[in-house]
Amino acid sequence: MSAPVLLKSSSGIQPVSIESKLMSDHRRLFITGEINADSAMDFFKQVMFLNLENDKAPISVFINSPGGEIDNGLLVYDAIVGSKAPIRTFCSGYAYSMGAVLFACGKERYLLPHSKLMLHEPLLGGKIGGNASSIKSISESLLETKRMMNKLLAFHTGKTEAEMDELTSYDHYFSAQEAVEMGLADGIKSFEEMMEGCA
């Protein structure tokens, strides 16, 4: 959360966070840093609030994230694709891993000229322990998650699941132009164009 700005009101000068001001006055939300349980639920509540306020006016989501936990990322995904108010996504910096998936699922998807995306297979963090059966179960679950993510990406890019499987088999980085060519984005916008596009 950034430092608050001071705004004058009938009750005097009040400190207000930039994020709150942009959300309430301009319907702009942000996905920044690692995606975890707290950030995912905060985003879910913000989308819910804006839909209750007006379910026809577009919502603009700015993403600058290395990704994060898949299960929590899928909560954000469900909020974006399930929102009655159309959600446009903007990559402002980089969107890696789950961040790239969330960027790709917007109704309209734009990158700043020097923004980048990165896709890869789901990763298993931490130490793995247990007997052969439990390790086999973990492996099968990871492969199922991989298939699900490739299916989602195929749907949003117009590519086949086999193509997405190949693209995510290693850390695959995309420049803004490459992201457009791959169907991950709809276009490239300058900062000025991005501001005009989400007004």
CB neighbour class for 138 (10 Å; exposed up to 12, middle 13-18, buried from 19): middle
Q: pLDDT tens for residues 73-132?
A: 999 999 999 999 999 999 999 999 999 999 999 999 999 999 999 999 887 665 666 676
Comparing C-alpha atoms, which of 2, 193, 44, 186 is closest to residue 103?
Answer: 186
Please tell me which residue in 97, 133, 141, 169 is annotated as part of the active site.
97
Q: pLDDT tens for residues 143-185?
A: 888 999 999 999 999 999 999 999 999 999 999 999 999 999 9
Torsion of CA 42, 45, 51, 54, to 10 degrees: -80
| Rounded distance between C-alpha atoms, residue 172 and residue 187, angstroms | 19
Mark whether 114 is an active-site residue. no
DSSP class of 96:
E
| Rounded distance between C-alpha atoms, residue 80 and residue 86, angstroms | 8
Element (H, E) at 186: none
Please tell me which residue in 92, 120, 172, 175 is annotated as part of the active site.
120
Mark whether 190 is an active-site residue. no
| Rounded distance between C-alpha atoms, residue 147 and residue 61, angstroms | 26
Domains and CATH numbers, the chain: 5-120+171-197 (3.90.226.10)
